[in-house]
């Protein structure tokens, strides 16, 4: 009963802390309910939260309802949704919990995201508390450092990335499982936690595995002694085996996704930064975030145009700067603990200072791996404060003075030199400075053991203060997210269009260059960041989109609309009068908004045969020349099929006199298409869809090979005759992933009973 009561208290306490961190937003919701304006109170965060994840979740929940989580038509000529979104949400248990809110309670996707964010923050605190309790005697200290974990700079920085928070919240469970192996020879928690983390995000799991490898060596040496021994090898093999069982269990998610993602041009494209050390300005930005989290107000000092410097997640309370030196010079902490964690800290600090080493964790110069440094700082801080009986005052004043000098320069002097002394960020720096002085006073007092409760209260205050402000600094009003506020008027326009022409397959939405199509459930030619089908790399290059560096794609143009099967354009009135009236016909549609619908003068079709061909090598060469005109390239792609040099001569000779056929699907579903084919000759046809090896084409049990043409679209050679052509989609690698997961589950059950025995 006592354990159950304690667990309930812990759950309640961390739930209250989460509510306090989001108190301004909860109050807005309450006010919205009272004023019958609940939707206007929606919690929305800037950047990727609304640019990517709200549309992703909307599409995901729609596909769950349809029972077909495979192919989606709502993002740039179609995409393997299962594999491309595994990295974002497919194996995330929180995303499925959100679906319960969405389907059973009827909440909007944005409100579901808010609720599961609260859940993630609460779970992160509980699991961190569970882990830190293994290192300290005082539960208050474990609690307050767990709260720092809940409000750390990594949380406030990456709150815009729901999947990152999901991964973050479960990380302490794997550390807890590692300790269980070392202390009690229990392996089941490692299997469960490793499987969960890989289900959630296999990319971040790589980063965490590198940390876990070094952590394992340090902790084994600290707990059991000699590393180079037979016992070490046996235990390490068992630990690795347990982790690999978790890897197998999660294969149904990561295997198809990795098979798909390996084609991503961004994984092999060169990075613009090649230097070994950070620039001074960027180095200052990193140092500053040991004291305060990243603020995303418009009025900030260290607002680097470089994307990576929005991703510094080091901050976990400025008291760490004072506790780390105490840890290293403490007489109460054993030598192995100091040497092991001190060496690990040194490794991370060197890695942080050298961008090339940091790339090992994330394959780019992104500072997302700072989560690992923050975890280590929290662990060191917990041990240090728990065993801090006598403060080394000399070390305290040296560390405090040095840190104050650094913070004074980067927090106040440098902003004054560049004319930003009145910035809101500088004023917030004063708050941290007050906490910094307060910690000095408390630590310098005699009988420190009696003051630990007060220190914990101050730390709790700082955690709440420095958690609330950064989160609120990136809040976005719903009126600024146009696709959310315009949802109903675009649905009306789309419904009217379906009444006029129920057979069309794709529409261009003017002015929308992100993932609104996924949110509206309208097939478009736009996408943003990891939404495009990676084989379309060359086609996007032909359109001067250059997917190696660009993240947002909105393919448009009078000529290219024909190729993309775009016959209709939905646009605002002003844009239509400025541009589309010259090559489109305005439809007489009665809409309750300022939207207009235009029909293009050139007819686009989904399936089209070709008699003219172009060598891919020649098109590639011309596409990258400055002299070529985009409309000329678009016209070429409409009149000629771009094929590999290997087949150019064969197709030119075989199909130059074949008859021309054009047709649209008679059936179009997420994973299934049907076409009525009527041709007197053999033909080669191009489909207005992204190439993917998961598609199969057949007619009367006869299979036809699908190949890539036009820079990444599907093409098929078809025989003469009158027949129905069917295309069906299954996620590549799914069967292999399911087999691996099945093996993993069997091994997990075996390990459970062996561990039980």
Q: What ranges make up the beta strands (E) of 68-146?
A: 71-72, 79-80
CA separation for the pair 519, 529 (Å, rounded): 15
* DSSP conformational letter for 607: E
Residue 65 lies in a domain: no
Residue 48 lies in a domain: no
Residue for token digits 């890539």? 708
Assign 107 to helix, strand or coil: coil
Residue 361 lies in a domain: yes
pLDDT on residue 689: 93
Residues of the chain with pLDDT under 70: 1, 36-41, 265-276, 303-310, 362-365, 448-450, 513, 530, 575-577, 626-627, 757
Same domain, 510 and 409: no
Same domain, 491 and 404: no
CA separation for the pair 121, 152 (Å, rounded): 11
Task: Please state, for a pLDDT cut of 90, what percent of the chain lies above it.
Answer: 47
Structure tokens at 727: 């295309």
At 355-389, the pLDDT tens digits run 777 777 766 667 888 899 999 999 999 999 998 88
Q: Is the dihedral of CA 663, 668, 671, 674 positive or negative?
A: negative
> C-alpha 54: how far from its chain's center?
12
pLDDT on residue 365: 67
Structure tokens at 633: 């390239």
Same domain, 30 and 143: yes
Residue 623 lies in a domain: no
Same domain, 182 and 258: yes
Element (H or E) spanning 600, and its range?
strand 595-600
Q: Are 201 and 120 in contact (CB under 8 A)?
A: no
Same domain, 666 and 686: yes
Last residue of a domain, one of 472, 497, 531: 472
pLDDT on residue 306: 53
Q: What ranges make up the beta strands (E) of 171-323?
A: none
Residue 438 lies in a domain: yes
Residue 78 lies in a domain: no
Same domain, 183 and 298: yes
Q: Other C-beta atoms within 10 Å of 450: how many?
A: 9
- 673 strand-pairing partners: 668, 727
Same domain, 467 and 489: no
pLDDT on residue 106: 85
pLDDT on residue 623: 82
Residue 704 lies in a domain: yes
> Shortest CA distance to 717 belongs to which of 669, 658, 645, 665?
658
At 615-657, the pLDDT tens digits run 999 998 888 776 677 888 888 899 999 999 999 999 999 998 8
Residue 617 lies in a domain: no
- Domains in the chain, number: 3
Q: For residue 714, which phi and psi values (nearest 5 degrees)?
A: -80, 135
Last residue of a domain, one of 441, 472, 503: 472
Q: What average pLDDT is seen over the chain?
A: 87
Same domain, 604 and 699: no
The DSSP-derived string for 529-598 is SS-S-GGGHHHHHHTT--TTT--EEE---TTHHHHTTEEEEEEEHHHHHHTGGGTEEE-----SSSEEEE
Q: Other C-beta atoms within 10 Å of 613: how many?
A: 22
Same domain, 531 and 640: no
Domain limits at 435?
2-41+91-472
Same domain, 440 and 503: no
pLDDT on residue 612: 93
Strands 595-600 and 584-586, by their bridges, are: antiparallel
Structure tokens at 378: 């929290």
Same domain, 327 and 353: yes
Same domain, 227 and 311: yes
pTM above threshold 0.85: yes
The DSSP-derived string for 159-197 is GG-HHHHHHHHHHHHHHHHHHHHHHH---HHHHHHHHHH
């Amino acid at each position: 009963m006592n354990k159950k009561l304690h667990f309930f208290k812990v759950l309640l306490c961390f739930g209250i802390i989460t509510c306090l961190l989001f108190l301004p937003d909860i109050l807005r919701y309450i006010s919205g309910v009272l004023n019958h304006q609940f939707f206007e109170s929606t919690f929305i965060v800037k950047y990727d939260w609304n640019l990517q994840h709200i549309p992703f979740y909307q599409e995901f929940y729609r596909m769950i309802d349809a029972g077909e989580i495979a192919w989606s038509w709502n993002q740039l000529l179609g995409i393997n949704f299962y594999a491309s979104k595994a990295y974002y949400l497919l194996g995330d248990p929180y995303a499925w919990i959100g679906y319960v809110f969405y389907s059973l309670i009827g909440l909007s996707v944005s409100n579901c995201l808010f609720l599961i964010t609260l859940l993630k923050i609460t779970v992160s605190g509980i699991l961190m508390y569970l882990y830190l309790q293994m290192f300290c005697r005082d539960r208050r200290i474990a609690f307050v450092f767990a709260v720092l974990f809940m409000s750390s700079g990594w949380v406030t920085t990456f709150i815009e990335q729901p999947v990152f928070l999901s991964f973050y919240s479960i990380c302490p469970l794997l550390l807890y499982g590692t300790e269980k192996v070392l202390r009690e020879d229990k392996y089941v928690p490692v299997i469960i936690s490793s499987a969960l983390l890989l289900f959630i995000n296999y990319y971040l799991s790589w980063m965490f595995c590198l940390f876990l490898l070094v952590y394992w060596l340090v902790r084994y040496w600290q707990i059991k002694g000699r590393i180079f021994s037979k016992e070490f090898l046996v235990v390490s093999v068992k630990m690795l085996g347990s982790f690999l069982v978790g890897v197998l269990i999660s294969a149904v998610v990561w295997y198809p996704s990795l098979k798909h993602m390996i084609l991503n041009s961004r994984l092999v494209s060169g990075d613009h930064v090649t230097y070994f050390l950070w620039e001074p300005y960027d180095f200052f930005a990193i140092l500053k975030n040991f004291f305060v989290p990243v603020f995303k107000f418009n009025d900030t000092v260290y607002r680097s145009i470089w994307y990576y410097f929005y991703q510094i997640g080091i901050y976990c309370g400025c008291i760490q700067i004072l506790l780390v030196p105490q840890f290293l010079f403490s007489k109460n902490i054993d030598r192995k603990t100091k040497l092991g964690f001190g060496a690990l800290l040194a490794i991370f600090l060197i890695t942080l200072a050298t961008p090339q080493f940091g790339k090992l964790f994330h394959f780019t110069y992104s500072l997302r791996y700072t989560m690992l440094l923050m975890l280590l700082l929290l662990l060191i801080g917990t041990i240090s404060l728990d065993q801090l009986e006598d403060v080394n005052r000399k070390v305290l004043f040296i560390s405090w003075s040095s840190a104050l000098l650094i913070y004074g320069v980067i927090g106040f002097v440098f902003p004054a030199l560049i004319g930003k002394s009145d910035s809101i960020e500088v004023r917030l720096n004063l708050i941290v400075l007050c906490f910094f002085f307060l910690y000095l006073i408390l630590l310098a007092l005699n009988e420190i053991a009696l003051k630990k409760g007060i220190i914990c209260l101050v730390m709790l205050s700082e955690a709440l203060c420095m958690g609330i402000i950064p989160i609120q600094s990136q809040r976005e009003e719903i009126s600024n997210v146009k696709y959310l506020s315009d949802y109903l008027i675009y649905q009306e326009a789309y419904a009217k269009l379906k009444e006029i022409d129920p057979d069309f397959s794709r529409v261009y939405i003017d002015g929308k260059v992100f993932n609104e199509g996924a949110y509206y459930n309208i097939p478009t030619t736009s996408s943003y960041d990891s939404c495009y089908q990676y084989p379309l790399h060359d086609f996007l290059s032909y359109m001067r989109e250059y997917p190696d560096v660009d993240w947002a794609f909105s393919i448009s143009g009078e000529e290219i609309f024909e190729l993309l099967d775009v016959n209709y354009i939905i646009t605002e009135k002003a844009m239509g009068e400025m541009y589309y009236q010259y090559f489109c016909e305005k439809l007489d549609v009665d809409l309750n908004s300022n939207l207009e619908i235009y029909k293009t003068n050139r007819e686009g079709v989904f399936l089209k045969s070709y008699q003219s061909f172009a060598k891919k090598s020649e098109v590639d060469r011309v596409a990258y020349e400055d002299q070529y005109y985009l409309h000329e390239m678009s016209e070429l792609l409409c009149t000629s099929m771009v094929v590999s040099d290997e087949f150019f001569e064969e197709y030119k000779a075989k199909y130059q006199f074949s008859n021309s056929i054009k047709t649209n699907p008679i059936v179009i579903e997420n994973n299934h298409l049907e076409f009525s084919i009527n041709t007197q000759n053999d033909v080669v046809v191009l489909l207005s869809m992204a190439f993917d090896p998961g598609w199969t084409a057949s007619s009367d049990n006869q299979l036809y090979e699908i190949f890539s043409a036009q820079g990444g679209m599907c093409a098929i050679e078809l025989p003469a005759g009158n027949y129905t052509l069917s295309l069906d989609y299954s996620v590549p690698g799914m069967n292999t992933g399911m087999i691996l997961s099945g093996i993993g589950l069997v091994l997990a059950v075996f390990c459970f009973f062996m561990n039980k025995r």
